Structure 1
Amino acid sequence: MQPRALFRTVAFAEAVTWTLLLIALFLKYVTKTTDAAVSIAGGVHGFVFLCYAFIAAFTWVNQKWKARTGLVAIVSAVIPYATIPVEKSLDRRGLLAGHWRLAAGREEPMGAVEKIQAWILAKPILAAVVVLVGVAAVFSFLLYMGPPDTWFS
């Protein structure tokens, strides 16, 4: 899967999980019918949010975006549905075009971050397992911490 397809897929998934979370919040606070949906939708959204942030950073490195562009891509996940217009804007400007430049037989990696990306591209299955374990660890820690509104009280 090339950068454009991967980024678009995860940006869309992030927006879909926002929908699930907003529906769950509506059920909890407006209709007062269930709290369970928030735990489920919140967990799914949190996991996809972390995956999106990783993929946005990974794409940022590959595409050599300016810092502002990369930060906007990552921060867009915080605002409901913002990943879609950000993805459309990046695509329209050609910032998602091309292949994985650090894949085998292409550019030589420069620096630690690019070397990690080249390793990931060379060993995608092992890297996916490592990334999923890492995201799951962060996700588990955040679940342990509880809802964000309780972190500082």
Structure 2
Amino acid sequence: MRPMGRVFATVAFIEALTWAGLLIGMYFKYHAADPTPVGVRVFGPLHGIAFMAYVVVTLLAAVRLRWPWWAAGLALLAAVPPLVTLPLEWWFKRRGLLGRQTA
């Protein structure tokens, strides 16, 4: 995997991780027997930062790794529903869109 591909994979993982934290935080805020907003207060801003970083890294990766337009669009759309960046990153890796390792 090329360095930009590694950066994309890492940021995609972080974006999904913060999504999961935010979802868990929302559960405890709205559905728990003893509601607490601390999870949303912590993971809300973290996910906002991770989302913005993912968008920037996706655009950079699309240019540097010369993705086709559909791959860049799909990568950007993957950030909207929860946890979709992980399977997208795995699929991109299998298709070689994150770059092949040079010997």
2:75 matches 1:73: yes
Which amino acid in structure 2 is aligned with residue 13 of structure 1?
A: I
2:47 matches 1:56: no
| Deviation digits for residues 3-40 of structure 1 (CA, Å, limit 9, x no counterpart) | 12111110100111011101110011111511232122
SS at structure 2 position matched to 1:77: coil
CA–CA separation in structure 1 for the residues paired with 2:65 and 2:10: 17
SS at structure 1 position matched to 2:79: helix
Structure 2 counterpart of 1:88, from 68, 74, 90: 90
CA–CA separation in structure 2 for the residues paired with 1:98 and 1:50: 26
- Structure 2-normalised TM-score? 0.88
SS at structure 2 position matched to 1:42: helix
Q: Tell whether the 8 Å contact from 1:76 to 1:82 is kept in structure 2 after alignment.
A: yes
Gapped regions of structure 2 (runs ≥ 5) = none
CA–CA separation in structure 2 for the residues paired with 1:36 and 1:69: 36
Which protein has the larger Cα radius of gyration, Structure 1 or Structure 2? 1
2:10 matches 1:9: yes
CA–CA separation in structure 1 for the residues paired with 2:54 and 2:87: 15
Gapped regions of structure 1 (runs ≥ 5) = 100-153
User: How does 1:3-152 map onto structure 2 within 5 Å?
Assistant: 3-31=4-32, 32-98=34-100
SS at structure 2 position matched to 1:96: coil
Identical-pair percentage: 35
TM superposition shift of 1:65: 1.2
Runs of 4+ with >6 A deviation:
none
CA–CA separation in structure 1 for the residues paired with 2:8 and 2:78: 13
CA–CA separation in structure 1 for the residues paired with 2:90 and 2:11: 13
CA–CA separation in structure 1 for the residues paired with 2:86 and 2:76: 12
